[in-house]
Amino acid sequence: MNVQQIGEDKLIRRLKRLVPGRADVISGIGDDCAVVRTGRRDPYDLLLKSDPVVEGIHFTPDAKGSAIGHKALGRVMSDLAAMGGEPLWILVDLVSPPTASVARIEAIYKGMSKLAHRYGAAIVGGDTSCGPVLEVHVFAVGRIARGKALLRSGARLGDILYVTGALGGSGMGHHLRFEPRLVEGQWLRKSGLVTAMMDVSDGLATDLRRLSAASGIGAVLDVAQIPVSAAARRLSGRRSGLDHALADGEDFELLFTVPCRKSRAFEAAWHKAFRLSCTRIGEMTAKSGMVELRDGKLVEELTRHGYEHFDHHLQ
Amino acid sequence: MNVQQIGEDKLIRRLKRLVPGRADVISGIGDDCAVVRTGRRDPYDLLLKSDPVVEGIHFTPDAKGSAIGHKALGRVMSDLAAMGGEPLWILVDLVSPPTASVARIEAIYKGMSKLAHRYGAAIVGGDTSCGPVLEVHVFAVGRIARGKALLRSGARLGDILYVTGALGGSGMGHHLRFEPRLVEGQWLRKSGLVTAMMDVSDGLATDLRRLSAASGIGAVLDVAQIPVSAAARRLSGRRSGLDHALADGEDFELLFTVPCRKSRAFEAAWHKAFRLSCTRIGEMTAKSGMVELRDGKLVEELTRHGYEHFDHHLQ
B126/A93 touch (CB, cutoff 8 Å), yes or no: no
What Å distances lie between residue A38 and A3, A105, B87, CA to CA? 35, 34, 13
Please list every residue in chain A whose beta carbon sits closer than 8 Å to the beta carbon of residue B85. none
Q: At a CB cut-off of 8 Å and minimum separation 6, what does A99 contact?
A: B2, B3, B4
B97/A3 touch (CB, cutoff 8 Å), yes or no: yes
What is the C-alpha to C-alpha distance for residues A16 and A18, in angstroms, rounded to an integer? 5
What is the per-residue pLDDT for B312?
46
**pLDDT higher than threshold 80 for residue B187:** yes
How many residue pairs from chains A and B have C-beta atoms closer than 8 A? Answer: 256
Written as one letter, the residue type at B235 is: L
CATH class of A152-314: alpha beta
What is the C-alpha to C-alpha distance for residues B144 and B45, in angstroms, rounded to an integer? 5
**pLDDT higher than threshold 90 for residue B27:** yes
Measure CB to CB from residue B137 to each of A15, A103, A137 and give the nearest one.
A137
Please list every residue in chain A whose beta carbon sits closer than 8 Å to the beta carbon of residue B19. 109, 112-113, 116, 122-123
Q: How far is B151 from chain A (nearest CA, A)?
A: 15
Report percent pLDDT > 90 for chain B: 87
Q: Averaged over B51-57, what is the pLDDT? A: 94
What is the per-residue pLDDT for B195?
98
Please list every residue in chain A whose beta carbon sits closer than 8 Å to the beta carbon of residue B36. 88-89, 124, 141
**pLDDT higher than threshold 80 for residue B315:** no
What is the C-alpha to C-alpha distance for residues B6 and B10, in angstroms, rounded to an integer? 6
A39 to chain B: nearest residue by CA?
Answer: B42
Q: What φ, ψ does residue A252 adopt, rounded to 5°?
A: 55, 40
- Among residues B108, B171, B103, which one has the least CA distance to residue B135? B108
Q: In what order do the strands lie in the sheet with A135-145?
A: A25-27, A34-37, A44-54, A135-145, A86-96, A122-130
Helical ranges in chain A per DSSP H? 3-6, 8-18, 65-81, 102-118, 174-177, 182-191, 204-215, 230-235, 241-247, 263-273, 310-314
Q: At a CB cut-off of 8 Å and minimum separation 6, what does B214 contact?
A: B30, B31, B151, B152, B153, B196
Q: At a CB cut-off of 8 Å and minimum separation 6, what does B28 contact?
A: A122, A123, A124, A125, B16, B21, B34
Write out the residue limits of the CATH 3.30.1330.10 domain(s) in chain A: 3-145
Please write the tens of the pLDDT for every residue from B218-270: 999 999 999 999 999 999 888 899 999 999 999 999 999 999 999 999 999 99
A43/B46 touch (CB, cutoff 8 Å), yes or no: no
A124/B25 touch (CB, cutoff 8 Å), yes or no: yes
Contact B150, B197 (CB under 8 A): yes
B24/A102 touch (CB, cutoff 8 Å), yes or no: no
Write out the residue limits of the CATH 3.90.650.10 domain(s) in chain B: 152-314
Contact B84, B148 (CB under 8 A): yes
Query: For chain A (length 315 residues), average pLDDT per consecutive 10?
Result: 88 92 93 91 94 94 97 98 98 95 97 98 94 96 97 98 97 96 98 98 95 97 97 91 94 98 98 98 95 93 67 44
The superfamily in CATH containing domain B3-145 is PurM-like, N-terminal domain (3.30.1330.10)
What is the per-residue pLDDT for B289?
85
ipTM of the complex: 0.93
Please list every residue in chain A whose beta carbon sits closer than 8 Å to the beta carbon of residue B32. none
Contact B159, B283 (CB under 8 A): yes
B22/A120 touch (CB, cutoff 8 Å), yes or no: yes
Measure CB to CB from residue A132 to each of B33, B123, B132 and give the nearest one.
B132
A123/B20 touch (CB, cutoff 8 Å), yes or no: yes
Q: What φ, ψ does residue B186 adopt, rounded to 5°?
A: -70, -40
A52/B11 touch (CB, cutoff 8 Å), yes or no: no
Contact B54, B85 (CB under 8 A): no
Please write the tens of the pLDDT for every residue from B62-116: 999 999 999 999 999 999 999 999 999 999 999 999 999 999 999 999 999 999 9
